[in-house]
Amino acid sequence: MSTIQEVQDEIISEFEILGDDKESTIYYIMELGDGLPEFPEAERVDENIIKGCQSKVWLTAHEVDGRVIFEADSNTDITKGLISLLVRVLSGRKPMEISNADLYFIDKIGMGNIIGSQRSNGLASMIKQMKFYALAFQAKQNA
Amino acid sequence: MPFTIESIREHFPVLHQEVHGKPLIYLDNAATTQKPKQVLEALNSYYANDNANIHRGAHALADRATRKYENTRTMVGDFINAKEEAEIIFTKGTTESINLVASTFGRKFIQKGDEVIISTMEHHSNIVPWQMLCEANGAVLRVIPISESGEIIFDEFEKLLSPRTKLVSIVHASNSLGTINPVKAIINRAHAVGAKVLLDGAQSTSHLEIDVQDLDCDFLAFSAHKLYGPTGLGVLYGKREILEQMPPYQGGGEMIKEVTFAKTTYNEIPFKFEAGTPNIADVIAFGEALNFISGLTKPLIKAHEDSLLAYAVELTSKIKGFIPIGTAKEKVSVLSFNINGMHPFDVGVMLDAKGIAVRTGHHCTQPLMQRFGIEGTVRASFAVYNTKSEVEKFAESVERIAKIKNK
Ligand SMILES: Cc1ncc(COP(=O)(O)O)c(C=O)c1O
């Protein structure tokens, strides 16, 4: 499995190919969302909604063999595409890797510019929640 | 001023720019309109030449600033045909104007068991102040239902009226749907049961000719920034006999006649309601916005905007998956819609990528969105400086976007 850094660099170079054209970037992000695994209907409940997002985002985390598996969904295609990137970078990793991750790819691909500052806040809450889950699993493993 | 759109656009520096490498097409005018050069220059000139605190100074600058400030009050009075300029109160905006009425007229004249009527299509600023009032004093809020086309159901309104009705507070033109409400008939019927009427004119004042004497409304609230004027400034019109009976809003300087520790007496209207140093520069600049509008005349502005809306409706009606929200017969130039299978936010971001500025979401009218069972809409709203070719680019872009999910 590639490292968090390797996956981020992969994403950065994919976005570099798209260049400055906002339109193609958005279409690309929307397509990425299609790649996200189907979100389990049973998990589509209020407790799994992330606060701070204007569009709705559902997020769950499960521990499998000491690794954290994230599942996520959104009711908007662009947000869904963006969270698919986070899932791609963080899902399937050890809790400590996740909680310590420096997610520099977000700035590098110009996410704030793409989605506007309000959505960026939503994304920040999404990341906070992912790290929070990771810390919780970490605490459990250490207990 | 000759009425060619190109010459009008020349007055708006902000329109001449690119966003995301595309020429800006600004279709978010219901949120706020852009400002003509005259307004920008007036702001600058006030601070460069006239800046002084008004009303109290004995010097030349104070006198000049006071005259210009009060001149705008006279112009606003003319703009809505108020009987006298003392009936014009400057506020921060529509929101503060409505809150002022709720906390002064409301506290004095609306008691436990009394009723306030609003409609389903109100902006939050014409819902929440009344909910707060009702919570505080035990009055009851009643809501006029609307039809599928986004028009109030007049029979239902009449059924809500009773001697308990103290106030009908209703939007003149809906910011989310564009619907122009039959306010004259509403005012007539409300007055027949002894209720007063407040009109939320935030969206109507920029498009429709307003004559408060002919309408006979008791209050009219609106915002300068939707009228090609500065932000953070608004107007409350009220009939003199009602304003005089209302207690003051905020306490402070300007609003008093005499202060002693034993007792304070209050100034005359409108000053009774303008505590503290007002927004002098923006008031003065707002005068230039009103000049700009009266130079073009409202009928010409409306005719142009109506033709843009009609064209937009015509072009978008052919788009597969296009769902218009709000199809009232009488509308201001607002086109709210959804695309089948798509979230309004996605549509908005994709339009932005084409340089087209629209608004997405609930537009501060969540109960209205609940009525239609939707989360929000995409809203394009047209102003006097928009062009047919902009409408075409907008419609083309919407069509391309709609195709993603509606093949
Ligand atoms: C119908 C309506 N009412 C009230 C308001 C509030 O105006 P402001 O924010 O300028 O106070 C708006 C502005 O969005 C509006 O469209």
Model ipTM?
Answer: 0.85
Residue B157: what pLDDT? 98
The answer to whether B100 and B235 have CB atoms below 8 angstroms apart is: no
Q: Is A120 an interface residue toward B (CB < 8 Å)?
A: no
Question: In this complex, do B345 and A116 lie within 8 Å of one another by their Cβ atoms?
Answer: no
Categorize the per-residue pLDDT at B321 as very low, low, confident or very high, splitting at 50, 70 and 90. very high
Q: Which of A31-40, A113-122, B27-36 has the lowest mean pLDDT?
A: A113-122
Catalytic choice (B40, B323, B364, B404): B364
Q: Provide the pLDDT for residue A122.
A: 76
Identify the CA nearest to B238 among candidates B72, B80, B130. B80
Residue A54 has pLDDT above 70, yes or no: no
Give yes or no for B366 touching A (CB within 8 A): no
- Cross-chain residue pair B343–A23, CB shorter than 8 Å: no
Nearest chain B alpha carbon to A19 = B20
Residue B384 reports pLDDT greater than 70: yes
Q: In this complex, do A115 and B361 lie within 8 Å of one another by their Cβ atoms? A: no
Of the candidates B168, B236, B251, which has an alpha carbon nearest to the alpha carbon of residue B202?
B236
Residue of A22, A75, A116 with shortest CB distance to B343: A75
Average pLDDT over residues A108-131: 80
Assigned token pair, A77? 């295609």
User: Does residue A118 surpass a pLDDT of 80?
Assistant: no
Q: Is the CB of B93 under 6 A from ligand 1?
A: yes
B125 lines ligand 1 (CB under 6 A): yes
> Lowest-pLDDT range, A59-68, A79-88, A116-125?
A116-125
Decide: B240 and B269 in contact? Cβ < 8 Å: yes
Q: Domain spanning B5-30+297-405 has what CATH number? A: 3.90.1150.10
pLDDT in tens, A87-99: 999 999 999 999 9
Measured between its terminal Cα atoms, the distance across chain B in Å is 47
A56 or B374: which carries more pLDDT confidence? Answer: B374
pLDDT value of residue A114 = 74
pLDDT band at A52 (very low <50, low <70, confident <90, very high): low
The half-sphere exposure of A97 on its side-chain side, counting CA atoms within 13 A, is 14
The residue count for chain B: 407
Ordered by start, the domain boundaries in chain B are 5-30+297-405, 40-294
Domain B40-294 falls under CATH 3.30.70.20: no
HEC readout, chain B: CCCCHHHHHCCCHHHCCEECCEECEECECCCCCCCCHHHHHHHHHHHHHHCCCCCCCCCHHHHHHHHHHHHHHHHHHHHCCCCCHHHEEEECCHHHHHHHHHHCHHHHHCCCCCEEEEECCCCHHHCHHHHHHHHHHCCEEEEECECCCCCECHHHHHHHCCCCEEEEEEECECCCCCEECCHHHHHHHHHHCCCEEEEECCCCCCCCCCCHHHHCCCEEEEEHHHCCCCCCCEEEEECHHHHHHCCCCCCCCCCEEEECCCCEEECCCCHHHCCCCCCHHHHHHHHHHHHHHHHHCHHHHHHHHHHHHHHHHHHHCCCCCEEEECCCCCECCEEEEEECCCCHHHHHHHHHHCCEECEEECCCCHHHHHHHCCCCEEEEECCCCCCHHHHHHHHHHHHHHHHHHCC
- Identify all chain B residues contacting A23, using CB atoms and an 8 Å cutoff: 20, 350, 353-354
Task: Judge if the upstream peptide bond of residue B270 is cis by omega within 30 degrees of 0.
Answer: yes
What mean pLDDT do residues B317-328 have? 97
pLDDT at position A55, please? 80
Average pLDDT over residues A109-126: 76
What is the pLDDT at residue A111?
A: 79
The answer to whether the pTM exceeds 0.95 is no
pLDDT at A59 over 70: yes
Structural domains present in chain A: 4-142 (3.90.1010.10)
Helix axes B388-405, B344-353, angle to 10 degrees: 130
pLDDT (mean) for B220-247: 98
Quick one: pLDDT band at residue B253, thresholds 50, 70, 90? confident
pLDDT in tens, B269-284: 999 999 999 999 999 9
Does residue A131 surpass a pLDDT of 70? yes
For chain A, say whether B362 makes contact (Cβ under 8 Å).
no
pLDDT of residue A90: 96
Question: In this structure, how many other beta carbons lie within 10 angstroms of the beta carbon of residue B317?
Answer: 10
Q: Is B217 a catalytic residue?
A: no
Q: Judge: B375–A75 Cβ closer than 8 Å, yes or no.
A: yes
The whole-number average pLDDT for the span B256-279 is: 92
CB contact under 8 Å between A115 and B349, yes or no, is yes
Burial of B163 (0-12, 13-18, 19+ CB in 10 A): exposed
pLDDT value at position B115?
98
Lateral strand order in the sheet of B140-144: B88-91, B234-238, B219-223, B196-200, B165-171, B115-119, B140-144
CB B333 within 8 A of CB B206: no
Q: Is the Cβ of A79 closer than 8 Å to some Cβ of chain B?
A: yes
In the predicted model, is pLDDT for residue B2 greater than 60?
no
Q: With a cut of 60, say whether residue B137 has pLDDT above it.
A: yes
pLDDT digits (tens, 9 = 90+) for B22-75: 999 999 999 999 999 999 999 999 999 999 999 877 899 999 999 999 999 999
Which residues on chain A are in Cβ contact (under 8 Å) with B350? Answer: 23, 26-27
Task: Give contacts of B375 with chain A, Cβ < 8 Å.
Answer: 75
Residue A76: list chain B partners with CB under 8 A.
Answer: 343, 345-346
* A43 or A114, which is more confident: A43
Q: How many CB pairs under 8 A join A and B?
A: 36
Lowest-pLDDT range, A15-29, B123-137, B159-173, B238-252? A15-29
Given this model, what pLDDT does residue B231 score? 98
Q: Is the pLDDT of residue A86 over 90?
A: yes
Residues B359-363 have a mean pLDDT of 94
